[in-house]
């Protein structure tokens, strides 16, 4: 009888420990169990950032060889950093805190940075960036749905604006 009580307690304690461990896991790690979301996790280096206006004209807002990364971590967090190449020259004053209005504006326009969380709609191949903070104030608190396609270590993110313009962001997995 004592053996059955002891074994029963051991099973009960094991179940409590397993239940507690499951409750401590980040919800996103449970949601990402297998599938497209898992394949998205990693660090991605930007190789192309092209926009097309409604008339079909293609532009490269960060130059034809931009630099940057998007990082999707396994806990459901992301960070995005993109900069124009060639980069903004150093400020004429030689001090980052003493740039002219034009120099500061050019630096601001040549860089995108935001962070937050993300979720993946696997059925529609859409990753939604839930922006917690951004260099551009209008992005903070917004949700940015991005249709995407994964082909091995190549990630293509598509952007479509309400004005009919669109964009392609091509990224390669960092190994």
Per-residue pLDDT, 26: 41
- Whether 166 has a pLDDT exceeding 50, the answer reads yes
CA distance 84 to 115: 19
CA distance 27 to 10: 28
Q: What is the pTM of this model?
A: 0.77
- The beta strands (E) that lie in 95-174 are given as 111-121, 126-134, 143-151, 154-160, 166-173
Other C-beta atoms within 10 Å of 87: how many? 12
What is the band of 163 on the pLDDT scale with cuts at 50, 70, 90?
A: confident
Which domains does the chain carry? Answer: 27-173 (2.40.128.280)
Percent of all residues in the chain with a pLDDT value above 90, rounded to a whole number: 71
């Amino acid at each position: 009888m004592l053996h059955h009580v002891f074994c029963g307690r051991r099973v009960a304690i094991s179940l409590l420990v397993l239940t507690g461990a499951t409750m401590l896991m980040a919800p996103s790690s449970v949601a990402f169990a297998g599938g497209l979301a898992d394949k998205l996790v990693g660090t991605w280096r930007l190789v192309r950032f092209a926009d097309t206006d409604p008339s079909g004209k293609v532009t490269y807002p960060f130059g034809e060889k931009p630099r940057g990364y998007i990082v999707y971590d396994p806990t459901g967090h992301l960070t995005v950093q993109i900069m124009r190449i060639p980069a903004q020259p150093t400020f004429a004053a030689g001090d980052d805190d003493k740039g002219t209005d034009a120099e500061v504006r050019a630096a601001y326009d040549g860089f995108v940075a935001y962070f937050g969380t993300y979720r993946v709609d696997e059925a529609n191949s859409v990753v939604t960036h839930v922006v917690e903070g951004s260099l551009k104030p209008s992005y903070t608190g917004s949700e940015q749905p991005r249709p995407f396609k994964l082909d091995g270590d190549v990630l293509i993110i598509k952007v479509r604006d309400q004005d009919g313009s669109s964009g392609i962001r091509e990224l390669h997995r960092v190994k």
